[in-house]
C-alpha cells in the first residue's frame, strides 16, 4: 500500500451506478449506505458473508459474497479501499471497461461537496471525536451528515445523510486519505508516528498533518496542545492562514479543561472558552475522552452552537462500539472490549480500565485485578512498537497476548505475539501468558478470571470475538446463577 494523491471529484449525484469492492468493511459500508440513501443505484461485494452485508441488503443495496467480474453489472463507478489487491477480478474488469475507479476517500469526498466539512484526524481518538461531534450536532438539532469509523452504540450505525449544512468525517491519515476531503474545519487530536510502512519516517508522517491543516479549503484548525506532536504543529501553523483554536488542559489552551473528576462510569470537568465556562459531564470515562469532547465542542462552536447547547448535547453521547464497550458483567467479572491498537491508545484504555477496576473493588469489597488481553495488529506495527507494547502491558495485573492479526499484510518471518511477551517480561511484567490461537483466548481468560476482576480485550482485529465468547463461559459459572 502506498500513499494516495488527492484527485478531482464530481458530486455524488453525478457518479452513476456505483459498485463497492469489499463493501462489508467498517469504512466502506457507511459510505455505500449513504449513496443508496441518496437514491443512487449501489452494489458491492465482499470476501465473506456478514451481518453488515445483510444489513446493507435490507437498505436496498445489492450485495454479493465473493468476487466475480460479472457482479459489476452496469456500474459506472467502482470504489475500492487500500486493501484491495491489483489482481482482484472485479478491479481488473473495471479497468478493462474503462470505468471510473475511486478510492473510498474520493467516494466520500464526492458526498461532502457543497457542505461545511469537519474532518477529524489524528493518530488516536479519531473515531470517538468524530462520533462525539456528530452526536452533539444531531442532539442540538443541526441534522448533520456523518461517516464514522465505528458504529454508534445507541444506533448501531456509522453513517447518516442529514439535511443540515455540516458533514462530519473521520479522516484517515494511514494512507493519506485525509488530504482528499474538502475540509473547512480540520480537527487534529494528536500527532504520534504510526503507519510508517507508508509514511516511512516520523518526519514525513508529521508533514502529512501539516499538509492536511493547510489544504486550500481549510479555514479553522481545532488542535490538541496537550500532545507534543500536535502542539508543535499548532505552533508552526500560527500565521499560516487558518484560524488556530487550541484545546486541552494546558494553560494556554483556547478551550481549556480544568477540575477533572471521575464520575461513576464517566468523568466531569470545567470547560472554558472565552467568556463561556461551566461543567461538562460525560458518560464515557477518562481524560482522553474529555480531550475528545473539547475538540468536538470547538467544531460545534464554529458551526454556530452555543456553549450550553454544545455541552448538554455532548453529555448525551453514550459511546461507539469497541471503545471501552461493556460486553458483560457476569459472575462478578466485568468484560470490556476496546479498539486500542497503538501503545498510546492502549495506555489510555488501561488507565480508564484501572480506574474502573478500583471503583469496582470499592463497590464490591472484592480485590479485583485488571486482566488485559491484547492482539497485536499488523506485522509492521508489531516490529515498530513491540517494545512499547510490552512496556504498556505492565499496567495490567495479568497480561494475555495473542498472535499478530496480519490483516492486509503478508507475514514477516520471526514476527509473532511472542515479541510483545518478551518485551513485557523485560519491562517487569510478572504474570504474562501467550495464547497463540484467538479461539483459545476465551477458555484461557475464563480460567484466569475470578470474581472482582475486570477483563479488557484490546486490538483492532478480530479479537472482538473474544468478549462475547467469554461472556458465554461466564454464564455457566455457579456464581452467575446467584445474581
Q: Is 170 a catalytic residue?
A: yes
Widest CA span in the chain: 68
123 among annotated binding-site residues: yes
Q: Which residue has the cell 469509523?
A: 149
Among residues 126, 275, 94, 130, the alpha carbon closest in space to that of 191 is found at: 126
Whether residue 121 contacts residue 173, with contact meaning beta carbons closer than 8 Å, is answered with: yes
- Backbone phi and psi for residue 87, each to the nearest 5 degrees, phi listed first: -95, 10
- Number of neighbours of residue 276 by Cβ within 10 angstroms: 15
Helix (H) / strand (E) containing 328 = strand 325-330
298 is in an annotated binding site: no
Which residues, in sequence order, are CB contacts of 311 under 8 Å at separation 6+? 271, 278, 279, 280, 297
Q: Which of 42, 127, 330, 464 is catalytic?
A: 127
Question: 336 by DSSP, 3-state: which?
Answer: strand
Closest among 293, 290, 297 to 267, alpha carbons compared: 290
Distance of CA 356 to the CA centre of its chain: 21
130 has catalytic annotation: no
CA angle, residues 11, 15, 21, in degrees to nearest 5: 120
* Alpha-carbon torsion (341, 343, 345, 349), positive or negative: positive
Pull the grid cell for residue 368: 479485583
Cell digits for 442? 476465551
Is residue 219 marked as binding?
no
Residue 37 corresponds to which cell in the numbers above?
440513501
122 is in an annotated binding site: yes
127 appears as a binding residue in the annotation: yes
Residue where the block lists cell 462552536: 301
Active site residue 438: no
Question: Measured between alpha carbons, how far is 21 from 24 in angstroms, rounded to an integer?
Answer: 9
Q: Of 90, 93, 170, 391, which is the active-site residue?
A: 170
Point out the catalytic residue in the list 63, 93, 115, 126: 126
DSSP state of 166: E
DSSP code for 320:
B
On whether 315 is known to bind a ligand per the annotation, the reply is: no
Catalytic residues: 126-127, 170
Q: What residue numbers does the annotated binding site for ATP cover?
A: 122-128
Amino acid at each position: 500500500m502506498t500513499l494516495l494523491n488527492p484527485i478531482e471529484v464530481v458530486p455524488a449525484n453525478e457518479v452513476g451506478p456505483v459498485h463497492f469492492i469489499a463493501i462489508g468493511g467498517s469504512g466502506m459500508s457507511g459510505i455505500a449506505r449513504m449513496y443508496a440513501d441518496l437514491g443512487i443505484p449501489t452494489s458491492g461485494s465482499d470476501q465473506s458473508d456478514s451481518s453488515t452485508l445483510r444489513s446493507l441488503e435490507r437498505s436496498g443495496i445489492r450485495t454479493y459474497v465473493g468476487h466475480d467480474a460479472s457482479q459489476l453489472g452496469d456500474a459506472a463507478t467502482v470504489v475500492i479501499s487500500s486493501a484491495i489487491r491489483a489482481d482482484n477480478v472485479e478491479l481488473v474488469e473495471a479497468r478493462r471497461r474503462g470505468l471510473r475507479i475511486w478510492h473510498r476517500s474520493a467516494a466520500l469526498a464526492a458526498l461532502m461537496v457543497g457542505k461545511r466539512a469537519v474532518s477529524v484526524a489524528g493518530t488516536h481518538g479519531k473515531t470517538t471525536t468524530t462520533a462525539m461531534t456528530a452526536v452533539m450536532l444531531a442532539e442540538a438539532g443541526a441534522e448533520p451528515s456523518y461517516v464514522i469509523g465505528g458504529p454508534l452504540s445507541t444506533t448501531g450505525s456509522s453513517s447518516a445523510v442529514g439535511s443540515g449544512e455540516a458533514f462530519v468525517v473521520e479522516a484517515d491519515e494511514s494512507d493519506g486519505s485525509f488530504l482528499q476531503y474538502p475540509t473547512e474545519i480540520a480537527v487534529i487530536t494528536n500527532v504520534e508516528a504510526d503507519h510508517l510502512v507508508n509514511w516511512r519516517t516520523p518526519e514525513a508522517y508529521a508533514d502529512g498533518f501539516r499538509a492536511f491543516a493547510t489544504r486550500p479549503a481549510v479555514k479553522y484548525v481545532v488542535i490538541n496542545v496537550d500532545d507534543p506532536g500536535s502542539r508543535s504543529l499548532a505552533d508552526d501553523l500560527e500565521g499560516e492562514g487558518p484560524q488556530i483554536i487550541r484545546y486541552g488542559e494546558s494553560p494556554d489552551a483556547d478551550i481549556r479543561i480544568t477540575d477533572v473528576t471521575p464520575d461513576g462510569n464517566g468523568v466531569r470537568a470545567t470547560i472554558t472558552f472565552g467568556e463561556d465556562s461551566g461543567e461538562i459531564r460525560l458518560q464515557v470515562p477518562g481524560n482522553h475522552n474529555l480531550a475528545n469532547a473539547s475538540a468536538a465542542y470547538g467544531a460545534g462552536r464554529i458551526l454556530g452552537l452555543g456553549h450550553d447547547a454544545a455541552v448538554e448535547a455532548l453529555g448525551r453521547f453514550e459511546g461507539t462500539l469497541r471503545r471501552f464497550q461493556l460486553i458483560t458483567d457476569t459472575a462478578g467479572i466485568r468484560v470490556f472490549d476496546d479498539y486500542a491498537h497503538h501503545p498510546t491508545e492502549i495506555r489510555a484504555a488501561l488507565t480508564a480500565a484501572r480506574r474502573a477496576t478500583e471503583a469496582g473493588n470499592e463497590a464490591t469489597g472484592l480485590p479485583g485485578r485488571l486482566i488485559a488481553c491484547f492482539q497485536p495488529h499488523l506485522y509492521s506495527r508489531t516490529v515498530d512498537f513491540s517494545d512499547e507494547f510490552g512496556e504498556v502491558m505492565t499496567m495490567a495485573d495479568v497480561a494475555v497476548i495473542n498472535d499478530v492479526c496480519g490483516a492486509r499484510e503478508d507475514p514477516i518471518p520471526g514476527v509473532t505475539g511472542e515479541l510483545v511477551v518478551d518485551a513485557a517480561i523485560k519491562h517487569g511484567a510478572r504474570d504474562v501468558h501467550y495464547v497463540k490461537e484467538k479461539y483459545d483466548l476465551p477458555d484461557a481468560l475464563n480460567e484466569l478470571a475470578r470474581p472482582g476482576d475486570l477483563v479488557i480485550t484490546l486490538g483492532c482485529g478480530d479479537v472482538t470475538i473474544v468478549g462475547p465468547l467469554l461472556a458465554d463461559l461466564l454464564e455457566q459459572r455457579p456464581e452467575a446463577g446467584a445474581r
